A and B are shown apart, each in its own frame.
Chain A
């Protein structure tokens, strides 16, 4: 019975439609961004199996349609395919807008070496997920070292801070999922609180050209981006497990993403790491383990026109610091320097004892965006970050388990930006960022605060223009203004206040006199102007040139201003200076890119002139009851940094290829006419790669890392009296360690388990020859050698 009814209905409807099948559907298709007519777009009515193509004016038409609702698929090259239900009733006009994949087009592909993403003319390198996966068990700072010109400044081997073209800490901005990381980045022993596994891609921008992120990145910007969202129903993820001999450690990281066709998405990621004491070639590095737990949740809705994103991330790092690096006074330092190996060497252990750090960083973010037709994209974002840092020292009595440093840094940021991209390849962007930061130094430590309580307010406004003059030439201009305001409350010892001459210069800051201590209330404001301009010019298919000039100003950070007192974990007295003003950088960058099928060459040079460059260096000793301590003072000078970074990739055959990453850097103090302290030494990394797709996608490589001795260093050595031996000795804290050469091996194979699942198994050996070495930029170089041989097994499952 049902069948007959159906049959009847179908026949009847067919007749009914047939009666009125003379309707016309027409309209135009234009571009969402600039309203330009789209030529050659196709429209397809599946139920009738008929096509229409837009003409030179973007017009289309369907003739002789019956009235009714039609499901029409509209598609065009480089556009998002759109499916619409259009009701036809008599002659109907229906105009359609299509969206170009603008974001894809922004990424000008420079073959092999790098992809441009964040800026036009800045020296930028993009690391993709394959580049990052090998560093899953390590840190962000380790992964970034594959970019030539990027080094790291370390405290041991688990506290790794990136150094870009010789600059680090407050001079580098780290962005994660659109949030500027605020994690007490001023300290050398404060590594970025980021899990490398949370990023899908990492972009390294040298210099301060990326003004949208901030105006004070004299060194550069590191942009970590999460997994891109695709508009389709999909569930995918990966799990990486690795284990290694050195540190007898384990790292496990997993990520799962679910996307929906209509734009919703949710993604979760977590990482767990545990390491025990690491080992130098000749001895255990007692108390150097790490426990790390992190996870993040990312979700939202994303379509071309609008979307939102909410993000939460949690990271806790418990880091042990080499036991032998904890020293009492300058005599202990002399003993340590003169000893060929650490003074305390115990059996292997997973214990994390004092000195140690326990740092927790949390990020909460909400972002919303909307695109307006023929106009652009408006973005609004709020984020909150909470950074809790405990540092535990070797203490006596009741204070044994009490933290010596207990700082809680809270940062709220609100930012909005408007990006106009409707003007054929020309992009105009403007934005406002504001933030409020509060630092609380817990007095329960019983140790005088190294960083005081403060409130900080920042407001920044910027505008950037990116012009496409023709197919070969692009220009960009940008300007930014930042206002920074500190309101700090700090106790100074009266004796220190007077010794520094603050009683003359800053007498009006004192708000309370406790006899031996003074409470002062510095309220400092800074006005910073930054600017950037540059051009990229494609000479021909193989050659491209890039030039960029950036001006930037950076206000001093709390440690440069307010440090005062004995830094127990470093056994040195660190003195900031309230008189420090902002530093100003003028950076000129020039790059030459050459690429053919076989060869990719990227030559980047820069000259960075910094007025009032802020640096810290040893300036003598101070005598206390505990003996003499070296004093490290923050100072300012005029300096320049000059460098050359080379990346070269050459494919001999499809199977064999060669890579070179080299960098040369010179940092010079112009006032004192001598080298700058703590400049990375010149190095070259050469590697030979073999791949064979037939053998389960085999990749194998051998890498040679040659780090030359830093011959340009200031002589900060000083003499001190050693009471036990009754003699005066020279404390050699300046001489850099000798040149070293390391060999590394890596190989991996991939097995396809199913259509969507594959298993990658990799084995790598670092420091194959078990070479003993020390690095100039490792703060623990006075006390112990760096890591010995490490064999690592990594298993990765993609699904």
Chain B
């Protein structure tokens, strides 16, 4: 028993000694979130005329609200060609998320909803389902309203109406949801 006691004592002391002599007074490393989408830019062009809709939220999940800007009003009875660009601007230079979505386009789909304008998909994934990075936007008469752009991750693209742009049965998780105030003149 005596031997055991001294062995135990030595064991305890050595464990304490080795374990408490941990290194660090060093500061932890900062984390810049990689997957975060800070910025959605929608560009609408028609006959050399370009309109930009932008939503930027530089603190991501932080308390600051997204800053939403629309460069100008849309023209009535016009068809615009639209494209979307997604950025992570917490990194320098800004990282493009658009490329990532293009790579995994079968797992992503944008949905557009507006009482004022009509949209149609211009792009497709390998399965022939829409994605929405490229689209057309058609205005009719003048008025004011809004345009909501939603990006769903892992939607059920085969569900009823989803490939026509109806979000009702899409499921999945919302990666982006932005509502732009728009007006048609």
Contacts and interface: CB of A to CB of B under 8 A. Distances in A.
Given A396-B100, A397-B100, A447-B31, A724 B63 contact: no
A631 to B, nearest CB: 9
B31 A397 contact: no
Interface stretch (A175-183, A249-257, A435-443): A435-443
A453 B113 CA distance: 44
B160 interface: no
Contact of A723 (B33, B38, B150): B150
Nearest to B9: A368
A447 B33 contact: yes
Interface stretch (B21-29, B45-53, B119-127, B132-140): B21-29
Interface string A624-663: 1111010000000000000000000000000000000000
A732 B173 CA distance: 19
24 contacts: A301-B1, A328-B173, A328-B175, A344-B171, A366-B8, A366-B11, A396-B107, A412-B15, A436-B20, A441-B28, A446-B33, A453-B28, A489-B28, A493-B62, A499-B62, A499-B64, A566-B61, A622-B61, A625-B37, A625-B66, A626-B175, A627-B150, A627-B177, A726-B148
Contacts of A724: 111, 113, 148, 150, 167-168
Interface in B140-174: 146, 148, 150, 152-154, 167-168, 171-174
Contacts of B175: 328, 626
B167 A626 contact: no
Q: Which 9 A-B pairs have the closest CB atoms?
A: A328-B174, A627-B177, A328-B173, A723-B148, A499-B63, A566-B61, A495-B59, A495-B62, A493-B62
Interface stretch (A49-57, A509-517, A554-562, A774-782): A509-517
B153 A396 contact: yes
A489 B27 contact: yes
Nearest to A448: B31
B94 interface: no
B63 A514 contact: no
B73 interface: no
Contact of A452 (B28, B104, B167, B171): B28
Interface residues of A, number: 61
Contacts of A511: 27
Interface of A: 301, 306, 308, 326-329, 331-332, 343-344, 364, 366, 368, 382, 384, 394-397, 399, 410, 412, 414, 436, 438, 441, 443, 445-449, 452-453, 489, 491, 493-496, 499, 511-512, 514, 516-517, 519, 565-566, 573, 622-627, 629, 723-724, 726
Nearest to B40: A625
Interface of B: 1, 4-5, 8, 11-12, 15-16, 19-20, 22, 27-31, 33-35, 37-40, 55, 57-66, 90, 100, 103-104, 107, 111, 113, 115, 146, 148, 150, 152-154, 167-168, 171-179
B171 to A, nearest CB: 5
B30 A723 contact: no
B177 A445 contact: no
Contacts of A396: 35, 100, 104, 107, 153
B67 to A, nearest CB: 10
A395 B1 contact: no
Given A306-B1, A625-B39, 15 more contacts: A301-B4, A328-B172, A331-B177, A368-B8, A394-B173, A399-B34, A443-B29, A447-B33, A493-B59, A493-B62, A512-B27, A623-B66, A625-B40, A724-B148, A726-B148
Contact of B55 (A332, A494, A565, A625): A625
Contacts of B11: 366
B132 to A, nearest CB: 14
Contacts of A436: 20
Contacts of B31: 443, 445-449, 491
B24 to A, nearest CB: 8
B101 to A, nearest CB: 8
A308 B155 CA distance: 59
A366 B12 contact: yes
B174 A626 contact: yes
A327 B177 CA distance: 13
B66 A519 contact: no
A384 B178 contact: no
A395 B35 contact: yes
Contacts of A625: 37-40, 55, 57, 60, 66, 176-178
Contact of A516 (B58, B61, B111): B58
Contacts of A384: 15, 19
Chain B CB within 10 Å, residue with most, of A326, A328, A452, A623:
A328
Contacts of A517: 30
Contacts of B27: 489, 511-512, 519
A565 B61 contact: yes
Contacts of A364: 15
A494 B30 CA distance: 13
Contacts of B62: 493, 495-496, 499
A541 B118 CA distance: 85
Interface centre among B5, B15, B62, B175, by most chain A C-beta atoms within 10 angstroms, is: B62
A626 B177 contact: yes
Contact of A332 (B35, B104, B148, B174): B174
Contacts of A624: 57, 60-61, 66
Given A496-B62, A627-B177, A308 B4 contact: yes
B153 A394 contact: yes
Contacts of A447: 31, 33, 35
A440 to B, nearest CB: 8
A662 to B, nearest CB: 42
Nearest to B108: A396
Most buried by A among B12, B55, B173: B173
A516 B63 CA distance: 13
A667 B33 CA distance: 40
Contacts of B29: 443
A344 B159 CA distance: 12
A328 B150 CA distance: 11
A441 B28 CA distance: 9
Contacts of B173: 326-328, 332, 394
Residue of B59, B107, B174 ringed by the most chain A CB atoms within 10 A: B174
Given A396-B153, A511-B27, A446 B111 contact: no
Contacts of B153: 328, 394, 396
Contacts of B90: 516
Contacts of A622: 61, 63
Contacts of B22: 438
A627 B58 contact: no
Contacts of B39: 625
A644 B13 CA distance: 48
A514 B30 contact: yes
B15 A629 contact: no
A443 B27 CA distance: 12
